[in-house]
Amino acid sequence: MMQYLTKALLAACWFMLLTFPVMGIKLNSVDQTVEWQFDRVILLGVAIFFLSMLWNWCFSRKARGIPLIRLPEGLGRGLHRLVTLPGRSTATRLTSLGLLLAVMIVMPLVSSFYQTNIMISAMLYVILALGLNIAVGIAGQLVLGYVAFYAVGAYSYALLNQAFGLGFWACLPVGGFMAIVFGLALGFPVLRLRGDYLAIVTLGFGEIVRLVLLNWTSLTGGSGGIKNIPGPSFFGQELEIAANTIFIYYLVLLAVILTIIVISRLKNSRVGLALQALREDEIACEAMGIDLARVKLSAFALSSCWAGFAGVIFAAKTTFINPASFTFMESAMILSMVVLGGMGSIVGVVIAATILILAPEYLRAFSEYRMLLFGAIMVIMMIFRPQGLVTGERRRYRITALQGGSKGERA
C-alpha cells in the first residue's frame, strides 16, 4: 500500500510541475501583471493522485488475474446472452434481428434531418470498418492507408459525372472496380512485406493518393475539390434534399446488410479460411499448399472494393468532396474501429464503428473534453481488453471416441 501511495504522490508532483507554466500562470496583457493560480495546480495534483491510485489498483488486480468488476452471475450471463444469443433457436435470432431492422427502418421517418445524417455517416463507417476487417482482422495484413481506396471511389464518381455525365447507379460498380484496381496495384509490390514494413508502405500509399488529389488541380480541382455532385436518382426522378437524405439512408442501410451477409459468408468460404490461415502463420499456410500471392491479393482486392462503394455513396451524400476528407486520421479512425471491435469479429466491428461515430456527436456538450475521454477509453481498452469488445469467432474441434475409431467434429 505504501508503494502505491509513493507512486501516486510522485505522479501528482510531476504533473503539477510540468503543467504549472500552463495552468498556474496567467498573464494579464491589459494590466501587464502576472496572476498565480495555485488552486488549479493543486486541484490537478489531487485528481492525478487519486487517478494514479485507481490505476495502480487496476493493474494489481489484473496481474493477479482478478476481474476489475464482478457482475452478479445472473446479470453477467444475461448480458452475454443478450449480445450473442447462444443456444437460442433460429426463430429467436430472426425475431431479434427483425426488431432491430424494424427500428432502423422507422428511424428516419420519426427522427430529425440531423439524426438521419448522423446515422448515414455511422453506417458508412460500418461499411468501411467491415471492409478493412477483411484485410486486417481476417487476413492479418496491417493496412494504414485504407482511406486511399475510399477516396478513389468518391473521386471516380465525381470525375465521371463531371466529364461524361454518368449517374450514381452507373458509377457505383465503377467506383468499386477502380478501388479493386488500386488495391491490386498496392498489393503486388508488398507481397513479401509483413508487419510494420507493410504498415509503412500502405501509409505512404495513402499519402501519395491524397497528395496527387491535392496537387493535380487540372483534374481534381485541388484543395477546392469538386462540387455539385448529384445524389442517387429514384427511378430517374431527382429528389428534394429531405427526401434524398431519407433515400440515401435506406440505400446505406441496405448496403450495410449486404456487407454483413457477404463478409459472413466469406469467412466460412475456402477463400476466407485461406485468409485466416495467412493471418495465423504464413509459413505453415504456404506449407499447406496455399498460394500466398493469390491470397494476399484477394485480401487487398476484397477489402478495397467495399471502400470504393462507400466512397461513391459518400460523394453522393455530401455533393462535395476535396482531399481534406481523406486524411490519415480517417484511416486511423477506421483501424481503431476494427481493433476496438475485435479483430475478425463482424458484430464487434459494427458495435465499435457505431460507438466511435455516434459518441462524439452526442457528446458535443463536452466538446472541450470529448477527445480526452476518447483517448482515455482507447488506452484503457488496449490495456485491459486488447482482444476488443467481441472476440473474433474461431473454429474449434473436439475428438470424440466412437466405435471403430475416432472422429473429429466441429464444436
> What three-state secondary structure class fits 390?
coil
Do residues 263 and 133 make contact, with C-beta atoms less than 8 angstroms apart?
Answer: yes
Least confidently predicted of 11-20, 98-107, 378-387: 378-387
Grid coordinates standing for 315? 460523394
Domain-wise residue ranges, the chain: 1-64, 96-384
- Tell me the residue type at 172: L
Enumerate helices (H) and strands (E) in the chain, giving the number of each: 16, 6
Q: E-assigned strands of 322-384?
A: none
Count CA atoms within 13 Å of residue 344 on its CB side: 20
Q: Is the pLDDT of residue 71 over 50?
A: no
Question: Residue 262 burial by CB count (10 A; 0-12/13-18/19+): exposed, middle or buried?
Answer: middle
More confident residue, 90 or 173: 173
More confident residue, 341 or 65: 341
- Tell me the residue type at 287: A
Grid coordinates standing for 128? 468501411
Q: How confident is the model at residue 208 (pLDDT cuts 50, 70, 90)?
A: very high
Residue 80: the pLDDT is 46
Residue 392: the pLDDT is 56
CB atoms within 10 A of CB 143: 31
Residue 126: the pLDDT is 92
How is residue 400 annotated by DSSP? E
Do residues 234 and 247 make contact, with C-beta atoms less than 8 angstroms apart?
Answer: yes
Residue 105: the pLDDT is 87
Q: Is the pLDDT of residue 75 over 60?
A: no
- Average pLDDT, integer, range 248-272: 89
Phi and psi, residue 399, nearest 5°: -100, 125
The DSSP H or E segment spanning 325 is: none
Q: Report the alpha-carbon distance of residue 201 to residue 280 in Å, rounded.
A: 21
Q: Report the alpha-carbon distance of residue 31 to residue 363 in Å, rounded.
A: 37
Q: How confident is the model at residue 408 (pLDDT cuts 50, 70, 90)?
A: very low
More confident residue, 210 or 400: 210
Least confidently predicted of 49-63, 196-210, 261-275: 49-63
- Average pLDDT, integer, range 335-342: 85
Q: Report the alpha-carbon distance of residue 80 to residue 162 in Å, rounded.
A: 51
More confident residue, 388 or 208: 208
Residue 365: the pLDDT is 67
- Average pLDDT, integer, range 243-258: 90
Residue 371: the pLDDT is 67
Gyration radius from the chain CA atoms: 25
The 3 state secondary structure assigned to 153-197 is HHHHHHHHHHHHCCCHHHHHHHHHHHHHHHHHHHHCCCCCCCCHH
Q: Report the alpha-carbon distance of residue 335 to residue 329 in Å, rounded.
A: 10
> What three-state secondary structure class fits 402?
strand
Q: In sequence order, what are the residues at sequence separation of 6 or more whose Cβ sits closer than 8 angstroms to the Cβ of residue 294?
A: none
Q: Is the pLDDT of residue 345 over 50?
A: yes
pLDDT in tens, 108-143: 888 888 888 899 999 999 999 999 988 888 888 888
Do residues 107 and 315 make contact, with C-beta atoms less than 8 angstroms apart?
Answer: no
- Average pLDDT, integer, range 177-196: 86
Q: How confident is the model at residue 155 (pLDDT cuts 50, 70, 90)?
A: very high
Look up cell 440515401; give the residue: 248
Angle, helices 2-19 vs 38-63, to 10°: value is 140
CA angle 207, 210, 215 (to 5 degrees): 120
Q: Is the pLDDT of residue 76 over 50?
A: no
Q: How confident is the model at residue 402 (pLDDT cuts 50, 70, 90)?
A: low
Q: How confident is the model at residue 400 (pLDDT cuts 50, 70, 90)?
A: low
Q: How confident is the model at residue 212 (pLDDT cuts 50, 70, 90)?
A: very high
How is residue 68 annotated by DSSP? S
The answer to whether the Cα torsion of 350, 355, 357, 358 is positive or negative is: positive
- Tell me the residue type at 95: T
pLDDT in tens, 352-375: 888 888 877 777 766 666 667 777
Question: Residue 306 burial by CB count (10 A; 0-12/13-18/19+): exposed, middle or buried?
Answer: buried
Q: Is the pLDDT of residue 86 over 70?
A: no
Q: Report the alpha-carbon distance of residue 102 to residue 326 in Å, rounded.
A: 33
* DSSP labels, 69-87: S---HHHHHHHHHHHH-TT
More confident residue, 9 or 61: 9
More confident residue, 355 or 258: 258
Closest CA to 156 of 138, 173, 131, 133: 173
pLDDT in tens, 272-327: 888 888 888 888 888 888 888 888 888 889 899 999 999 999 999 988 899 988 88
Do residues 27 and 34 make contact, with C-beta atoms less than 8 angstroms apart?
Answer: yes
The DSSP H or E segment spanning 321 is: strand 320-321
- Top-level CATH class of 96-384? mainly alpha
Q: Report the alpha-carbon distance of residue 8 to residue 49 in Å, rounded.
A: 5
